[in-house]
Amino acid sequence: MGYPMAGHLSQDKDIDLYIYNRTNSVSAKWLNQFKGLKLKLSDTPNIKLDGLITCLKDDESIIKVLIKNKLIESLKKNSFVIDHSSTSLELINTISSHKSIKKNKISFFDAPVSGGEVGAINGTLSIMFGGPNKKISKINKLMSSYSSSIVKIGPSGHGQLTKMVNQLCIAGLLQGLSEGIALGKSSNLNMNKVFEAISGGAAQSWQMDNRFKTMVDGKFNFGFAVDLMIKDLKIALKQAGLENLDLRTSNSVIKNYKKLSKEGSGNLDTSSLIKLLEK
């Protein structure tokens, strides 16, 4: 996700863009394709940044890069951090309360994204973010280079809470879509005609528009991975538990995703949920 997002940012001539990836070969590939400077963590004491945009796998990765590797110490006073990762609320508290963040009055924005790899490549991601009300115009300008929808939900943490809602909605949609397609295929329906008939009606969704045909064809080599969805659903279900909500559908779906992961399908797209119905 971060690879194409940084690529869009590199097109802005007003930005001196430094990029960093934990895998050197990925950094080298990016630098060959786009314009920017590679940021070496060992050099961060000599670099002072106006802002930092992160897009990492999980809480542990963010803590390692920002805190353990001290990238956070390369930020100037009154700068900002935009985190596009999907994380727990605890992670936000950990970063926001860090001594460097507080001392240098750095604004932290939790800004998870939706739209998948295709959205990142096309620059059409949807961003939901939480945080302070300062620097909004500046960060909106930056984020608009790789997104088509940017909504400030509320204070710190509200971006991640909205992403939890997003992931719960997707999980339920994909379960229903999987079951519908499974019935259609087992009944020997012309699935192209089925899509034509129902995609313009009440069943229409982004998942149907973008995943129906690939699910019918058994293609799952793109988009958001099963293992990442498991991580996100765990976060959402934990929060739901704190609110005394019994989310039976989502609890059922995460069990199915765990089955897929255990069978070696953890890197497949989340639409691979249908595989469990076609055995």
Among 57, 64, 70, 163, the one annotated catalytic: 163
Q: Tokens 């992403």 map to which residue?
A: 163
Helix (H), strand (E) at residue 215: helix 206-217
CA distances from 201 to 106, 189, 194, 205, 213 (A): 47, 18, 11, 9, 17
Which backbone phi and psi does 103 adopt, to 5 degrees? -65, -40
Strands (E) in the chain, as ranges, are: 18-19, 37-38, 49-54, 75-83, 107-110, 113-114, 125-130, 147-154
Asked about 35 being catalytic, the answer comes back as: no
3-state secondary structure of 61: helix
Please count the CA atoms within 13 angstroms of the CA of 162 that sit on its side-chain side: 23
Q: How many residues does the chain have?
A: 279
What does the alpha-carbon distance between residue 189 and residue 227 come to, in Å, rounded to a whole number?
A: 32
Angle at 92 between CA 86 and CA 97, to 5 degrees: 160
Q: What is the 3-state secondary structure (H, E, C) of 152-164?
A: EEECCCHHHHHHH
CB burial class (10 A; 0-12, 13-18, 19+) of residue 172?
Answer: middle
Tell me which residues are annotated as active site. 163
